[in-house]
Amino acid sequence: MTEGHGYNKFFPVSWEELHRHCKALAWRLLERGPYQGVVAITRGGLVPAAIVARELNVRVIETISCSTYNELERGTKVNILKQADAALPSQGEGWLIVDDLVDTGVTAKAVRQLLPKAHFATIYAKPNGRPMVDTYITEVSQDTWILFPWDQEAVMSKPIVELKKGG
């Protein structure tokens, strides 16, 4: 999945850790609010947006659906599959955009063009995309693949002695 894409490290995130980071983000955002609503960038921003919205007592949640991953050229083009509801202010003023991470900044740039006055927040930020967001919690290196809890399964691990034998 990540071979040939420049990822040398993996950063697995548990459900508990993600929840803790989302609450930390909500604490940072509290002083910048109140917000009229939250816009989640799907799919990765759905869970963080729900947690942040709960912590900030925001009841209105919208989505923008984007796709930037394909087999040949990851992150070079953003396809907006669904825009936020037309009831949003045209510039997004007073609204909060939430995503799980900003990687290259390609998606964030496309969403910022749609809602330039909204406050943009992510849980994780990589150096290339970090300038595109207003608030984030944790910075990770550009060569790190973040393994979110929804992308993981619990499996039996091999004992160390078997790993050392190569079996």
Query: What are the pLDDT digits (tens) for 48-71?
Result: 999 999 999 999 999 988 887 654
C-alpha distances in angstroms, 150 versus 16, 18, 48, 74, 153?
A: 12, 11, 12, 20, 8
- State pLDDT tens for residues 3-15: 445 677 888 899 9
Q: How many CB atoms are closer than 10 A to CB 120?
A: 23
Return left, alpha or beta for 4; rule: phi > 0 is left, psi -120 to 50 is alpha, else beta: left
Q: Output the CA torsion sign for 135, 139, 145, 146.
A: negative
Cβ atoms of residues 85 and 78 within 8 Å: no
Looking up residue 112, the CATH number of its domain turns out to be 3.40.50.2020
- State pLDDT tens for residues 87-145: 667 788 899 999 999 998 888 998 898 899 999 999 999 999 999 999 999 999 999 88
Structural domain range at position 20: 9-165
Q: Is 100 a catalytic residue?
A: yes
Choice among 103, 134, 143, 151 that is catalytic: 103
* Tokens at 4, concatenated: 């040939």
Domain annotation covers residue 49: yes
Choice among 85, 100, 143, 151 that is catalytic: 100
Domain annotation covers residue 2: no
State whether residue 12 is helix, strand or coil. strand
Tell me the pTM: 0.83
pLDDT at 166: 66
Domain annotation covers residue 148: yes
Number of domains in the chain: 1
Domain annotation covers residue 4: no
- State pLDDT tens for residues 18-43: 999 999 999 999 999 899 999 999 98
* Tokens at 79, concatenated: 């396809």
Domain annotation covers residue 63: yes
Domain annotation covers residue 1: no
Give the Cα-Cα-Cα angle 51, 56, 58 (nearest 5 degrees). Answer: 90
Q: Across the chain, what does the average pLDDT equal?
A: 86
Q: Is 143 a catalytic residue?
A: no
Question: What is the widest separation between alpha-carbon atoms in the chain?
Answer: 61
